[in-house]
Structure 1
Amino acid sequence: MFSLVSCKQGRISDNIEIDISESTKFSKDEITNSIECVKSNFNFEGATLTKIWYDEKKSNNLVDIYLENGNGSQNGVSEEDVIILLSNFYVDDSGKNPVLNRDTIYTDYQWILIRDNEKSEWKIDSFGF
């Protein structure tokens, strides 16, 4: 995984595209809440979040990897309390971001969110590729 640390300097596009696939694992509200968590924590300086989506098939495959090899293999989180969203964002050419490439669109960027149980709020556990 690739991680960034910065101040709250990211932007959300006025025309952000949000796509939620059919789900047998989570309710629409659960997915929407996870998307809002990512949006409110998007803080990559000089970057604009342009698309965020939940694809259950891709998410389930990535969750399996997370539970076997990622933080999920250590933190004891249950499969039903992990959701992985994908996103695209654009980094402008200002040079304000010292980590990401200027004037670049990043695609399929992963956000791994976990919760304690079905009633608790989502929190970002990890993000990257």
Structure 2
Amino acid sequence: MKKTLFFLSLLIVFVFSMVYNGFGKVDHVQVSIEESTAFSKEEINEAVVAVKKKFKDFIGCTLTHIWYIEDKSMKITDDYMKYGNGSVNGVQQENVIVLLSSFKVGSSGGDGSLEPHSTYTDWNWIVVRDDHSDKWRVDDWGY
């Protein structure tokens, strides 16, 4: 009986630690937003929310900083519209915003595609919406 309780206790601790450590962490993210002529602060902040939501899929990772710099965003948006999904999905350029981020990867390496125990900087998040009145959604990410 004692062995059963001991193993049951270990199992509960293991499951709890997997659940707690399993999702990407977005609790203490530094957010920096540069002035924009293309988007309001509210629109940019709504795009940040979409990125944070998607980042929770990055198992064992911690988002540390997310930022918007209009010049960089516009350059990456141009490339997305010419060579990326924007060239085929019908999204209008005014409904595309690019945010940049830094994040730390834990021992798991996220989904296995990230280098464990590393930091990624200038990671792109291409966030789109169908129309000015629609919610933002992450369409692509990476370098």
SS at match of 2:94: helix
CA–CA distance in structure 1, aligned partners of residues 132 and 110 of structure 2? 38
Is 1:70 the counterpart of 2:84 in the alignment? yes
Q: Distance in 2 between matches of 1:96 and 1:126?
A: 17
Question: What's the secondary structure of 2:32's corresponding residue?
Answer: strand
Structure with the higher helix share, 1 or 2? 2
1:96 to 1:86, Cα distance in 2 relative to 1, 3 A: closer
Higher relative contact order (CA 8 A, sep 6+): 1
Q: Are 2:50 and 1:24 aligned?
A: no
Task: List gaps (5 residues or longer) in structure 1.
Answer: 1-7
Higher Cα radius of gyration: 2
Q: State TM-score, norm by structure 1.
A: 0.88
The answer on 1:39 being equivalent to 2:52 is yes
CA distance in 1 between partners of 2:42 and 2:96 (Å):
15
Distance 1:95 1:32, change over 3 A: closer
Higher strand share: 1
Cα distance in 2 for residues equivalent to 1:95 and 1:116: 33
Tell me the C-alpha RMSD between the 2 structures. Answer: 1.4
User: What is residue 105 of structure 1 aligned with on the other side?
Assistant: 119
- Letter matched to residue 23 of structure 1: S
The 3-state SS of whatever aligns with 2:50 is: helix
Q: Is the CA contact (8 Å cut-off) linking 2:61 and 2:110 kept in structure 1?
A: no
Give the direction of change, closer, same or farther, for the CA distance of 1:95–1:66 in structure 2 (3 Å limit).
closer
What's the CA shift for 1:95?
5.5
**Secondary structure of 2:76 counterpart:** helix
CA distance in 2, matches of 1:82, 1:95: 29
Size of the aligned set, in residue pairs, is 121
Secondary structure in 1 matching 2:35: coil
> Offset of 1:93 from its aligned partner?
2.7
Normalising by structure 2, we get a TM-score of 0.80
Q: Which runs of 4+ in 1 moved over 6 A?
A: none
CA contact (8 A) 2:58 2:110 kept: no
